[in-house]
Chain A
Amino acid sequence: MSFPAVLILEDGSLIEGTGFGAKEISVGEIVFNTSISGYQEIITDPSYAKQIIAFTHPHIGNTGINDEDNESDSIFASGIVIKDLPNHYSNWRATQSLESFLKSKKTIGISNINTRALTAKLRDHGSLKACISPGDKSSLSTAQKALNDFSGLEGLDLAKKVSTKNSFSWEEGTWPNYQEVKDDKLIVAIDFGVKKNILRLLRKYVGKVQVVNAQISFEELMKHKPDGVFLSNGPGDPEPCDYAIRLIQQLLDINMPIFGICLGHQLLALSGGCKTYKMKFGHHGANHPVQDLHSKIVYITSQNHGFAVDLSSLPTNIEPSHISLFDESLQGIIFKDKPAFSFQGHPEASPGPHELEELFIKFNSMIDYHAKKN
């Protein structure tokens, strides 16, 4: 069931398109994602909270939605913007259409949008606040107001909003059979908006996984007797997450092995005294070259971040480990004096390349090494 809809941008642009999914006004920061495959994983990634995702690939929805590829149980993104919603989906694993999935998750999508022009605009002007609204140009006052009321992502702590309320243990390994798991360690994964595939890979390469709320106290966390702590990805600005930064500092103080991804990386950096900043339009895609500064090997990585750690702010005890070859921004850090490292991109892929799964293995070895040393 499609309906007329409009995309409004903070620069005043109004773009008419065709709405699908939930018929609800929605606001967020609009970002473009250049990944050709993996829309199901992308729209279910909690890191997209309060963001509207514009896909550059023209056909989105081709393979429908299946029961296996969600990265969370919900859609956190405010909406999606695409060029073409195909009239039919086709895949042996598909169980429903993208449209019905959006509807069931109360999310709006808008199609027939020139996402190439939109991408060029975001590239040139930087990310913008945006609103998708059902209806046509004549009925925009509510939508316009909603857009005006949206303050943007800067200074916004979204991690605590999307984090799990209850602590739970994660059991399954990776697709397709989920069977291969390790049991010899326990990792506490702090959920700032964690993607399922991270938990699966921790399970596969490291050990048992206990997922906990973002605002967990140090004492509460230590009750789990973790061998290592994982700092998850997540949405929003890292700076306001002072509770997390304090917690991480406490963990660093006791030399707890730590591995962080994305927002987790930024939080670890902030805990170590680095600074973060908001990027012009961020990195969102599955084709980003990232170089390991030590081995010089280039990895194609999955990326999804609008904030970054300032390379020039690194104190002497933190080394840069990876940089982006697209814009030379910092992509990974390693503590010289602590068992802690983190990565800005998404080694868990989903969607995207798998090459950096080795970081999970590295986390495992680091815990082993640390244990032996003590």
Chain B
Amino acid sequence: MPKRTDIKSVLIIGAGPIIIGQACEFDYSGAQACKALKAEGFRVILVNSNPATIMTDPLLADATYIEPIHWKSIEQIIAKELPDALLPTMGGQTGLNTALTLAKEGVLKKYNVELIGASREAIDKAEDRELFDKTMKGIGIETPRSGIAHSMEEALIVQEDLGFPCIIRPSFTLGGSGGGVAYNIQEFKEICEKGLDLSPTTELLIDESLLGWKEYELEVVRDKNDNCIIICSIENLDPMGVHTGDSITVAPAQTLTDKEYQVLRDQSFKILREIGVETGGSNVQFGINPENGRVVVIEMNPRVSRSSALASKATGFPIAKVAALLSVGFTLDELQNDITNGLTPASFEPSIDYIVTKIPKFAFEKFPQANDRLTTQMKSVGEVMGIGRTFQESLQKALQSLEEDLHGFENIIDNSSDQNETLRYQLTFAGSKRILYVAEAIRLGWDAEKINQLTGIDFWFLHQIIDLIDEENILQDTKLNEIDFDKMLNLKKKGFADRRIADLISSSTKEVRDFRKKLGVTPSFKRVDTCAAEFATETAYMYSAYEGECESRPTNNKKVIVLGSGPNRIGQGIEFDYCCVHASFALQEEGYESIMINCNPETVSTDYDTSNRLYFEPITEEKVLDIIDLEKPEGVIIQFGGQTPLKLSEVLLSNNVKILGTDVDAIDRSEDRKRFQSLAHQLNLRQPPNSTVKNLKEALKVSEEIGFPIVVRPSYVLGGRAMELVHTQVELEKYLKEAVEVSDKKPILLDGYLTDAIEVDVDVISDGKDIEIGGILQHIEQAGIHSGDSACSLPPYSLSEIVIKEIEKQAKKIAAELNVIGLMNIQFAVQDNNVFIIEVNPRASRTVPFISKCLGESLVKSATKIMVGKTLKGISFSNLLPKNYFFVKEAVLPFDKFPAVDPILGPEMKSTGEVMGIGSSFGEAYAKAQRAANKIFPDSGLAFVSVKESDKKYLPNLVPLLLEQGFSLIATRGTANAIKELGHDAQIINKVTEGRPHIVDELLNNRVNILINTTEGRQSIEDSASIRRTALQNKLFCVTTIFGAFAILEAMSTSSDDWIYNSLQEIN
């Protein structure tokens, strides 16, 4: 039975901003769903608050709403669009929860919208732990022994029955947020308290401990005729106890016999049927006791998930696309397997003849106070996947893909005396680098038995790693010229990078590479074909291996390689994948064959039909050059993938590879401080006083010339890594001694801090002759807060015409001088109408997708076309913003995942994602952006105000606004006195250091509705951290900058009843 004809329009809810637990995999799934449904003639209505996504490109849906994913906003959109159906399974937990709320609030019934893909009952049965447990028992499937608790008293009763350790998981939270393992009663109470609070249903599931059990996932697809298939089995290398999102995982499962695997398969189908997932994809997780094979089901997700994205990339089977089509009535046998050119139907199970390994990427360096041990709550921010013909090859490729200066199993432990102690700790309590510690333990002669005991990692995997370390040990005593063809081939088959070989034999990457090529050991590329070569494929989705025939078959077309952005991390995320995908689209529009290289399985760029050809490979010197050797492209684009491809620019140049667009030297001119200074000087532009120092003495001397406060940071970093604002010489000294390494090779940059300056982001596009401004973004938070963490507004909401003209003039001057071909981003600071230049990046920035959404025109596409020879005039570039709209971008921060971290904004970027608010005024746009970021602000009540000395001058403006809005005030002594001097009333409350009752007590007593808390200086920040932490835990709206306070007051002055909801198609 083909597609349903009673449905004409479908509403799809996206996943919103990138957060820990929900990353670009839902852009991938949502984009697939939009494309598939639109191609079938449905009117697709999309809601997603995240402007950096491909799915929100106006071409992908018929009506694209970049609006808050909040049931009240979506109700407005439903009322306007009147969709026939709602597909809730493409937008992760957010999409599912929001759909459930819409159902519960009666919206779906009111507007007669049918839930497709998953019914309300199915979602409830799968997501409500108690119901799930009961449902499983009903069909004879074992779940972990467990109990449900809705209060601490109930929790303690359950615990008594289960003993320690036990696992606590709150219902309906993201990425297992708020859960944990308790080994003692104190931990137990702490976790339960937090969990009860975080769970929207105040519900905890407390499980028997399955620590050390083997963990598996099956990706299941079912259609309305009850055809069920497994797309992929995934085995977690890290056993139970580590969230699957934080585990190294391997597909297909490697350590199960068929009998055991089929038990999981049968149970998966049984579960899907019983839960009632009638159409679409689901993910079922199992634990298996390695001693006796006892199987328990852990959970199931009645939706497309991170694992389905991984499974799709691992097999070539497009789960999201198929799931979307099944939801509108198709059956599996009616759909074709694209990869085999439609020769076979989608109703089969992929068989793969390679191994994929996923390794998560973490950002603990950004959150030094956070607990960096891996638990049942997900903490990773991104992931990479390595494909190899063997597990060893795929594992080593995945390590190389992480961009953590790993080329294999690098040494990680120093020769200190407590090596054994360190190892025991690192193996027992998994951290982000446990796999490297496993290798170190092997080097130190620990046997597999012992490592297995501590880690629970299966012997099969351990022995594979032991073999690699054996190989390394032999290699260490080898000279390059002693390696013959067979030896080299064997090493490459095991996934050893040239660089790792070079390190082990004290040679250089280039030497090893040249020698290897001379031996004739070069990679051959294999295709991901879903069928283990049983059928031929034309789909050019490839990975490298060292074995026999190369299946790549490069064409003679004119072609360009786009280098992707690798794993998501803080500072480099989905924005850059958006850019790479658009570059690929533009190349195709210009008649080029586009070739993508990337290693991030969550992305749209690694979809097999985004580019003409896809190489799923680490973005390293070796792999990229190998592909260039084979493909011989006209050029390579490195402007769009963030720092990842830029790091390869020198290598590419020295290998005579043509880099399209702006000359690489321009990057150096803008990143090298000295050269940048002379550039600014030459163009007569003002910089804040600044200097580069190579040691402490120099730093102290220079700091006197610059004057405090000073922004300090290492050179060549992205996302403001280790950037700090220091106010005194003591703080500067502390920074240089404790926070960073400073040396001749690693200089430190000192910039005079422009107090109370407004920061401005400008994106420029140039064809070398004409230069146009893409957009000017005014930051809400003042200079000093990392631009990635600032909210910003397009158009600027308070800059004068003269300042804007001056900014444009300066931006164009720089673009002309650097001879930019393509995109460039500049950061300015405006202090008392003086324009200072802060930073120049001659490449795509993270604001590019946002601006493109505002303009209704892709800056990247334009830039790409320019890079292959078009002119701005030739492509009729326009930078006209739609009239009467404000667009606000707000950053989304992961503080709720790291409770020990001070949730204060600073010069180091910490946000994981962004949202956009669109309004007819700045206030409305800002208000919607806050709702989209899930920051719910009050409109009256008690406001706590405590501002730093330098902000007190703003009180005369701020206080009346607060009072007018209907707030009464409570303040710390200094601020309260200042308020009283203004003739207003403020209740005085102690600082935490001043005795009790203090402000934290008031917060805990739920008396305060909003906090305006600005502070500076290490000591003051430390002293007041508990205020902000408490506010975060109690979900209180907390503003940590004075400009942010003004912005939120402007937001409060709008009424959500009056907010406008216009699609991008209507706006542009």
Q: Judge if A29 is at the interface, Cβ distance under 8 Å.
A: no
Q: List 27 A-B contacts (CB under 8 A).
A: A35-B258, A37-B253, A37-B256, A40-B257, A57-B352, A58-B355, A62-B460, A69-B257, A90-B460, A90-B463, A92-B290, A93-B257, A116-B532, A116-B547, A124-B536, A285-B351, A287-B350, A289-B348, A297-B225, A298-B227, A298-B332, A326-B344, A349-B262, A350-B259, A351-B262, A354-B262, A355-B228
Residue pair A88, B533 in contact (C-beta under 8 Å): no
Q: Judge if A163 is at the interface, Cβ distance under 8 Å.
A: no
Distance from B278 Cβ to chain A, minimum over Cβ atoms (Å):
15
Residue pair A66, B534 in contact (C-beta under 8 Å): no
The 4 closest A-B pairs by CB, nearest first: A38-B258, A88-B463, A351-B258, A56-B532
Report chain B residues within 8 Å CB of A160: none
Q: Judge if A119 is at the interface, Cβ distance under 8 Å.
A: yes
In the bound assembly, the distance between CA atoms of A90 and B266 in angstroms comes to 23
Residue pair A117, B548 in contact (C-beta under 8 Å): yes
Residue pair A83, B533 in contact (C-beta under 8 Å): no
Distance from A4 Cβ to chain B, minimum over Cβ atoms (Å):
13
Residue pair A350, B463 in contact (C-beta under 8 Å): no
Residue pair B257, A325 in contact (C-beta under 8 Å): no
CB interface residues, B 514-539, toward A, < 8 Å: 526, 531-536
Interface string of A51-89 (1 = CB under 8 A from B): 000001111001100101100000000000001101111
Residue pair B353, A300 in contact (C-beta under 8 Å): no
Residue pair A325, B252 in contact (C-beta under 8 Å): no
Report chain B residues within 8 Å CB of A203: none
CB interface residues, A 300-319, toward B, < 8 Å: 300
Residue pair B389, A123 in contact (C-beta under 8 Å): no
In the bound assembly, the distance between CA atoms of A40 and B259 in angstroms comes to 10
In the bound assembly, the distance between CA atoms of A66 and B256 in angstroms comes to 12
Residue pair A62, B254 in contact (C-beta under 8 Å): yes
In the bound assembly, the distance between CA atoms of A72 and B229 in angstroms comes to 29
In the bound assembly, the distance between CA atoms of A57 and B351 in angstroms comes to 8
Distance from A304 Cβ to chain B, minimum over Cβ atoms (Å):
13
Q: Per a CB cutoff under 8 Å, which of A59, A69, A116, A351 touches B526?
A: A116
Distance from A360 Cβ to chain B, minimum over Cβ atoms (Å):
15
Report chain B residues within 8 Å CB of A90: 255, 458-460, 463
In the bound assembly, the distance between CA atoms of A297 and B227 in angstroms comes to 6
In the bound assembly, the distance between CA atoms of A326 and B908 in angstroms comes to 55
Distance from A310 Cβ to chain B, minimum over Cβ atoms (Å):
21
Interface string of A127-147 (1 = CB under 8 A from B): 000000000000000000000
CB interface residues, B 915-960, toward A, < 8 Å: none
Q: Per a CB cutoff under 8 Å, which of B233, B344, B348 touches A300?
A: B348
CB interface residues, B 211-266, toward A, < 8 Å: 225-229, 233, 252-262, 265-266
Q: Judge if B801 is at the interface, Cβ distance under 8 Å.
A: no
Residue pair A354, B266 in contact (C-beta under 8 Å): yes
For A59, A175, A297, A298, the residue with the greatest tally of chain B CB atoms inside 10 Å of its CB is A298
Add 13 more A-B contacts to A286-B258, A289-B333, A298-B333 (CB < 8 A).
A36-B233, A37-B256, A41-B258, A62-B254, A63-B257, A87-B467, A91-B260, A93-B257, A93-B293, A119-B532, A287-B349, A291-B333, A351-B262
In the bound assembly, the distance between CA atoms of A355 and B350 in angstroms comes to 17
In the bound assembly, the distance between CA atoms of A253 and B721 in angstroms comes to 84
Q: Judge if B409 is at the interface, Cβ distance under 8 Å.
A: no
CB interface residues, A 86-102, toward B, < 8 Å: 86-93
The count of residues in chain B whose C-beta lies closer than 8 Å to any C-beta of chain A is: 58
**Known contacts A289-B345, A298-B227: A120-B259 contact under CB 8 Å:** no
In the bound assembly, the distance between CA atoms of A58 and B254 in angstroms comes to 10
Q: Per a CB cutoff under 8 Å, which of B227, B252, B458, B463 touches A87?
A: B463
Q: Per a CB cutoff under 8 Å, which of A84, A116, A351 touches B533?
A: A116
- B266's nearest neighbour on chain A, judged by CB, is A354
- B535's nearest neighbour on chain A, judged by CB, is A123
Residue pair A114, B548 in contact (C-beta under 8 Å): yes
CB interface residues, A 314-331, toward B, < 8 Å: 325-326
Report chain B residues within 8 Å CB of A353: 262, 265, 349
Residue pair B460, A86 in contact (C-beta under 8 Å): yes
Q: Judge if A288 is at the interface, Cβ distance under 8 Å.
A: yes
Residue pair B463, A325 in contact (C-beta under 8 Å): no
Residue pair A59, B259 in contact (C-beta under 8 Å): no
Report chain B residues within 8 Å CB of A88: 448, 459-460, 462-464
Which B residues are closer than 8 A to A by beta carbons?
225-229, 233, 252-262, 265-266, 290-293, 331-333, 344-345, 347-355, 389-391, 448, 458-460, 462-464, 467, 526, 531-536, 547-549
Residue pair A117, B549 in contact (C-beta under 8 Å): yes
Report chain B residues within 8 Å CB of A354: 262, 265-266
Residue pair B354, A58 in contact (C-beta under 8 Å): yes
Report chain A residues within 8 Å CB of B549: 114, 117, 120
Report chain A residues within 8 Å CB of B533: 32, 56, 116, 119-120, 123
Q: Judge if A249 is at the interface, Cβ distance under 8 Å.
A: no
Looking at chain B's contact residues, is the secondary structure mostly helix, strand, loop, or mixed? loop
Report chain A residues within 8 Å CB of B255: 62-63, 90-91
Q: Per a CB cutoff under 8 Å, which of A123, A124, A287, A350 touches B258?
A: A350
Interface string of A3-31 (1 = CB under 8 A from B): 00000000000000000000000000000
In the bound assembly, the distance between CA atoms of A41 and B261 in angstroms comes to 13
Q: Judge if A373 is at the interface, Cβ distance under 8 Å.
A: no
Distance from B23 Cβ to chain A, minimum over Cβ atoms (Å):
28
Report chain B residues within 8 Å CB of A350: 258-259
In the bound assembly, the distance between CA atoms of A34 and B352 in angstroms comes to 8
Residue pair A34, B351 in contact (C-beta under 8 Å): yes
Residue pair B344, A68 in contact (C-beta under 8 Å): no
Report chain A residues within 8 Å CB of B256: 37, 63, 91
Residue pair A91, B257 in contact (C-beta under 8 Å): yes
Report chain B residues within 8 Å CB of A234: none
Distance from A52 Cβ to chain B, minimum over Cβ atoms (Å):
17
Report chain A residues within 8 Å CB of B448: 88
Q: Per a CB cutoff under 8 Å, which of A116, A325, A351 touches B353?
A: A116
Q: Judge if A107 is at the interface, Cβ distance under 8 Å.
A: no
Report chain A residues within 8 Å CB of B535: 123, 326
Report chain B residues within 8 Å CB of A287: 348-351, 531
**Known contacts A86-B460, A92-B290, A325-B344: A58-B353 contact under CB 8 Å:** yes
In the bound assembly, the distance between CA atoms of A176 and B262 in angstroms comes to 12
Distance from A57 Cβ to chain B, minimum over Cβ atoms (Å):
6
**Known contacts A58-B353, A58-B354, A88-B459: A119-B225 contact under CB 8 Å:** no
Distance from B1038 Cβ to chain A, minimum over Cβ atoms (Å):
51
Report chain B residues within 8 Å CB of A294: none
Residue pair A56, B290 in contact (C-beta under 8 Å): no
Q: Judge if A115 is at the interface, Cβ distance under 8 Å.
A: yes
In the bound assembly, the distance between CA atoms of A89 and B348 in angstroms comes to 29
Q: Judge if A46 is at the interface, Cβ distance under 8 Å.
A: no
In the bound assembly, the distance between CA atoms of A69 and B252 in angstroms comes to 20
Report chain B residues within 8 Å CB of A175: 259
In the bound assembly, the distance between CA atoms of A325 and B346 in angstroms comes to 10
CB interface residues, A 347-369, toward B, < 8 Å: 349-355
In the bound assembly, the distance between CA atoms of A286 and B353 in angstroms comes to 14
Q: Judge if A372 is at the interface, Cβ distance under 8 Å.
A: no
Residue pair A325, B333 in contact (C-beta under 8 Å): yes
Residue pair A296, B225 in contact (C-beta under 8 Å): yes
Report chain B residues within 8 Å CB of A59: 254, 355, 390-391
In the bound assembly, the distance between CA atoms of A22 and B609 in angstroms comes to 47
- B251's nearest neighbour on chain A, judged by CB, is A36
In the bound assembly, the distance between CA atoms of A41 and B226 in angstroms comes to 28
- B533's nearest neighbour on chain A, judged by CB, is A119
Report chain B residues within 8 Å CB of A69: 257-259
Report chain A residues within 8 Å CB of B467: 87
Residue pair B351, A35 in contact (C-beta under 8 Å): yes
**Known contacts A83-B390, A114-B547: A37-B348 contact under CB 8 Å:** no
Report chain A residues within 8 Å CB of B349: 286-287, 300, 353
**Known contacts A63-B256, A69-B257, A291-B333: A326-B348 contact under CB 8 Å:** yes
Report chain B residues within 8 Å CB of A285: 351, 534
Report chain A residues within 8 Å CB of B536: 120, 123-124
In the bound assembly, the distance between CA atoms of A49 and B462 in angstroms comes to 36
